[in-house]
Amino acid sequence: MALNGKIAVVTGAALGIGKAMTEILLQNGATVVLLDVNEAAGKSLKEALDKQYGREKTLFLNCDVESEEHIKAAFQKTVETFGGIDILCNNAGILNERTWEKMISINLVGAIRVAYLALQHMNKLAGGRGGVIVNTASMAGLGPLMSCPVYTATKHGVVGFTRAMAAASTASGYGIRFNALCPGFVQTDLFSAIPSNLGHYSHLADATQQMADMMGTLTVSLVAECLLELVNDETKNGEALLVTTNGNKYITFPVFTLSRGP
Ligand SMILES: NC(=O)C1=CN([C@@H]2O[C@H](COP(=O)(O)OP(=O)(O)OC[C@H]3O[C@@H](n4cnc5c(N)ncnc54)[C@H](O)[C@@H]3O)[C@@H](O)[C@H]2O)C=CC1
Ligand SMILES: CC/C=C\CC(=O)/C=C/C=C\C=C\C=C\[C@@H](O)[C@@H](O)C/C=C\CCC(=O)O
């Protein structure tokens, strides 16, 4: 299988989109390290996956992406156990406009922290073997969701970080591709909890639900298939893949030509 011998790390792996990412990576032959702050859910998933794929194909580590210490230890354990990291699914995230500073800390700062610490092991200039980092952004990383402006900001940040890192990696010779996954509404616990997590914008919950009804909700499996596309297609670097119930689209961004003023 395409990912035989590859070592993947998934953050937010215990539930939702991260769980589906873990499963499709295992189905395609990868060994997967599951990182999540929800220890009960993570251990439960590991137990189920052991029965299906064998104990040696996965490792669950309790890891909070807000903690540099946790992430460093998780990556160290990964490299000690499996010899390296080839694929990072930088997926952990929350939606809660009431605790917006924490949401920035997890969705944006956490994603950047995880990517930077993974670079220390993946970067060819640092003895790594290169690979691919897929950051889970959102359709809200491409356009505004009025009911969650800070969530929108975090996801716009993830898209921008991804595209800039892709250019930096190419220019520097890191040997790592960076891509952003931008799903629309996906049926997960995060999605189900939206009405109670909009804070100042709770009065816009109905409008958001109407938007979701109009756009439709995606399954986690479909999102995971798009992840696999970004992992396997070595021509993809610096891409933002929009995933909707009407199909998928690689986003074209405006290009600003550098020219002197008049
Ligand atoms: N559900 C949706 O409609 C969409 C979700 N997304 C993004 O997809 C990603 C996954 O979201 P879902 O699967 O929907 O959510 P979920 O709530 O179902 O799963 C998120 C997982 O991340 C873990 N997590 C949360 N904070 C963490 C932290 N500090 N450290 C480590 N793990 C942590 C949770 O324990 C959970 O297992 C998020 O980044 C989210 O913003 C993007 C577009 C749409
Ligand atoms: C309330 C958030 C619920 C779950 C988490 C999540 O990330 C869901 C996002 C789902 C949809 C976001 C839609 C945003 C739509 C608007 O911003 C429009 O401006 C469309 C944005 C981009 C279109 C890109 C394109 O078609 O070229």
State how far the Cα of 205 lies from the Cα of 146, in Å rounded to an integer. Answer: 10
- List, for residues 10-58, the tens digit of each pLDDT value: 999 999 999 999 999 999 999 999 999 999 999 999 999 999 999 999 9
This model of the complex carries an ipTM of 0.96
The reply to whether 227 falls in a domain is yes
**CATH number of the domain residue 199 falls in:** 3.40.50.720
Confidence of residue 260 (pLDDT cuts 50, 70, 90): confident
Total structural domains within the chain: 1
Taking residue 261's Cβ as centre, other Cβ atoms within 10 Å add up to: 3
**Is residue 256 one of the residues assigned to a domain?**
no
Pocket of ligand 2 (CB under 6 A): 95, 138-140, 142-145, 147-148, 184-185, 191, 194, 208, 242, 251
Q: Look at residue 222 and tell me if it is in a domain.
A: yes
What's phi and psi for 218, nearest 5 deg?
Answer: -90, 155
- The whole domain housing 87 covers 7-242
- 235 in a structural domain: yes
- Residue entry with tokens 């119930």: 245
Nearest CA to ligand 1 atom 22: 12
Instruction: Flag whether 257 is in a domain.
Output: no
Domain assignment present for residue 138? The answer is yes
Task: Report yes or no on 223 lying in a domain.
Answer: yes
Residue 178 lies in a domain: yes
How many A from CA of 152 to the centre of ligand 2?
9
User: Cα(243)–Cα(186) distance, rounded to whole angstroms?
Assistant: 10
Distance CA 75, CA 91 (A): 15
In the DSSP assignment, the letter for residue 254 is: P
